[in-house]
Copies of this chain bind each other. A is one copy, B any other.
Amino acid sequence: MENSDQDPLLVSENTRRRKKSYGTSSQQEVKNFNSGNENGFKDDIKPILDEIHSLKRSSRANETVPIGSLDVLSVKYESLDYDICENRLMLDEERNKGYSYYIKKLFMKWIIFFLIGMLTALIGVCIDISIDIISTYKYSVIKNNIDHCVTEDCLHVPFFIWVGMNVGLVFVGAVLVAYIEPVAGGSGIPQVKCYLNGIKMPRLVRIKTLIVKVIGVISTVVGGLAGGKEGPMIHAGAVVAAGISQGKSTSLKSDCKILGYFREDHEKRDFVSGGAAAGVAAAFGAPVGGVLFSLEEGSSFWNQSLTWRIFFASSISTFTLNIILSAYHGRPGELAYYGLLNFGHFESLDYQLFELALFALMGVIGGILGSVYTFINYRLTVFRLRYINSQWLKVVEACLVAAVSATVGLLMIYLLNDCRPLGQDPTKFPIQMYCNDGEYNSAAAIWLQVPEASVRSLFHDPPASHKLSTLVIFMVVYLGLSIWTYGLSMSAGIFIPCLLTGAAWGRVIGILISLMLPNASWVDPGKYALVGAAAQLGGVVRMTISLTIILIEATGNINFGLPLMITLMTAKWVGEYFCEGFYDIHIQLAGVPLLAWDPPPLSSSFTANKVMSYPVVTLPPTVNVRTIVNILTSVTFNGFPIVEETKSKYHRSSGACFKSAGRLRGLILRSQLLVLLKRRIHVQQGVVPEITIKDFREEYPSYCEIKDIYIPEEEMDCKIDLTPYMNPSPYTVQHVASLPRMFRLFRALGLRHLIVVNETNEVIGMVTRKDLARYRIAKHSGQVNMEELNFSDRL
């Protein structure tokens, strides 16, 4: 228990699980339970607790989790609960407030989605304009110094300026992320994906996280790291949505006391889907792609009106961003800036039928390179987990990467003499270096601009803008830098680095083809750069329909959909042959119990009594305060079935024997019990009065812990009637139900607890997300089998 202070609940869920793996045999268990059952409910729990504690001691020793293992689930992560607790309080509210309340909620939803779209776009604008101003300043200083020093032979001066600026900027971001809010590191997409999948991600949607993320991403991009601002935008949208919809902030410790009716996991999730979509829409100018991103990564249950609202938020987001950016860039009212990243206007994107095969081949390359990217970054992450543990080391590593990025950039400019004539000028800061008058250094053009602009250059520069060798060297160098960058203690996305790497090798292929077939009019290096960018990105992130549509919208050309789709599809298939997707690997590394879309194949023979956790701690319908306190202090389960005692004491099922805990009456959550204890105001005549639904909403989502609640001894023997608060008809399955059946129920309805009952409706076990997530299909020496993952509280 000692090392799990952040979230002690999970440790004992872990224990509950371990029960099955390391525990005494089932027969012995039953014997334990048979003693001491006669004198009332309170004593009935004692043997269970004793058993759990003894197991905890004995099993602790068994646990050695190799760092970097992909086959372990963390016990730290809890599920969100999308099930609606239809208890008496909620029924009363529905009856009293009636239809107008329903309409009011509906109306408020539209307003909130509007605000989500607008605010997300405003954050995007802030990031974009900050980056624009700072980077313009930075690059102009460097350019002037280089121009000056090429003649004066003082190139060490711009070198130190460049390195110094990079390191200084990155230092700010790294310190913020390492010391203030580590969850703001990385792109945020894997975390948002987990949240939408139904997992509680601690501190993910706090305002503090948002602030760190925004400053962090600015420092990443202007600090010259190989990272993008698109992934962080999605995270930012999610935070905005969670913040606005709840009317309260844990970071700011303020509660506006409005919008109380949206303080439920499932309402909040709906808004966060909208926020993520608005983030995508702002990042890529892709409202439809945003909706599909939310659906692909999140929703299990498609709902027409929700999707329509999400689309509304996305459209508002793109529109707001466009209006403001157009005005900022001096073209007010023209609506020419569709997103933070847009691919620019392609004159024509025609393709011949046979080119589809070529695109598929590029998809293969993307799949392979993407797997290489993912694999090396995975090894690097494992190395970091092992050796770069302290916060200052993380800051140092980030600064080191910043310095190396600048060095490599200057070296490429210095060593490669790729001169092109000025004039059609695709860059803002052309540097002459050792080129003749009227020419500029093409390598400098790539390095001395933000990566988004480099991507656009590779898409649209005229065919002869780069030497082949420049592009090849750039691609290798940038691939290496971007692998090194992701996982630093910085906020940085991987979309832009992948697109840029891919665009570079795609353009290389385009140039090679045009060298081989000088007369082919269909060869356009820009088109191949686009396909390469898609292939590389697809090979890394392995998203499907949403990525296709994001790319279509960013390209602005619907007719190029099929080529993009074929490229992404091949990249995904080839990549999956080698390793899992980038996000998935990082999610597995963190041991997050993500549930896939479908139950694992070949799992129908696993039944509920094999999968479930037991023993279950239960409560009677009316209970002493003391009993509740005892239970909450001793175990850390999050849901307690409410049962009535029955005569039968155990239950036999497929050879094993399970304690039956009594006949199911309902389910009460730990959080509900905590609120009941905390708010037991006006105790009179030994009975705790009813608590209203408002009390529950005010406490959501950060409930206090049992040790923080002081209960005077004279109230300890008060009785609480739990029936008004419990969920009277929780979802249950029979002990013979199959794993796929439970999985579908769990996934489609977003459950947190699924109670397993025997033939006479007596509780014998409990299935939670972790019980389902631990089953996985795996290939070992040609044989395909189910494997069960282990649990760890070290992750």
User: A residues bordering B, Cβ < 8 Å?
Assistant: 84, 86, 90-91, 94-95, 98-99, 102, 287-288, 291, 295-296, 299-305, 307-308, 311-312, 315, 318-319, 323, 333-335, 338, 350, 352-353, 544-545, 548-549, 552-553, 556, 558-559, 561-562, 565, 569, 597-598, 601-602, 604-605, 608, 663-665, 728-729, 731-734, 736-738, 740-741, 744-745, 748-749, 757, 759-761, 777, 784
Contact = CB atoms under 8 A, between A and B. Distances in A.
Contacts of A319: 562
A784 to B, nearest CB: 4
B95 A605 contact: yes
The 6 tightest CB contacts between A and B, nearest first, are: A99-B784, A729-B737, A748-B748, A761-B761, A308-B544, A302-B302
A295 B304 CA distance: 8
Contacts of A312: 565, 569
A296 B300 contact: no
Given A99-B602, A303-B597, A287 B759 contact: no
Contacts of A784: 98-99
Contacts of A738: 86, 729
B305 A598 contact: yes
Contacts of A304: 296, 544-545, 597
A307 B296 contact: yes
A91 B601 contact: no
Given A352-B333, A734-B729, A558 B565 contact: no
Which one of A303, A333, A569, A748 has the highest number of Cβ atoms from chain B below 10 Å of its Cβ? A748
A731 B738 CA distance: 12
B604 A99 contact: no
Contacts of A308: 544-545
A710 B300 CA distance: 47
B301 A748 contact: yes
A729 B736 contact: yes
B315 A565 contact: yes
B740 A729 contact: no
A633 B784 CA distance: 47
A663 B760 contact: yes
**In the assembly, how many copies of this chain are there?**
2
A737 to B, nearest CB: 4
A751 to B, nearest CB: 11
Nearest to A757: B761
Nearest to A289: B288
Given A545-B308, A738-B86, A94 B302 contact: no
Contact of A302 (B300, B562, B749): B300
A744 B729 CA distance: 13
Given A95-B605, A302-B302, A304-B296, A559 B353 contact: no
A741 B597 CA distance: 22
A400 to B, nearest CB: 39
A350 B665 CA distance: 62
Nearest to A760: B760
16 contacts: A84-B741, A86-B740, A86-B741, A301-B301, A304-B544, A307-B545, A312-B569, A315-B565, A333-B353, A334-B350, A335-B559, A664-B759, A744-B749, A748-B749, A757-B761, A760-B760
B663 A94 contact: no
A335 B350 contact: yes
A605 B302 contact: no
B561 A558 contact: no
A300 B749 CA distance: 11
B740 A84 contact: yes
B299 A302 contact: yes
A116 to B, nearest CB: 16
Contacts of A759: 663-665, 761
A604 B94 contact: yes
Contact of A760 (B98, B604, B748, B761): B761
Given A304-B597, A307-B544, A729-B741, 12 more contacts: A86-B740, A91-B605, A94-B604, A94-B605, A102-B601, A288-B552, A301-B302, A301-B748, A305-B544, A307-B545, A757-B761, A761-B761
A315 B287 CA distance: 20
Contacts of A299: 302
Contact of A602 (B102, B549, B553, B740): B102
A545 B311 contact: yes
Contacts of A748: 301, 748-749
Contact of A338 (B296, B544, B559, B757): B559
A335 to B, nearest CB: 7
Contacts of A665: 759
Contact of A315 (B90, B562, B736): B562
B102 A303 contact: no
Which one of A94, A288, A749 has the highest number of Cβ atoms from chain B below 10 Å of its Cβ? A288
A316 to B, nearest CB: 8
Contact of A745 (B287, B323, B749): B749
Nearest to A565: B315
Contacts of A295: 295, 302, 307
Contacts of A301: 300-302, 744, 748
A424 to B, nearest CB: 25
A129 to B, nearest CB: 21
A386 to B, nearest CB: 34
Nearest to A568: B308
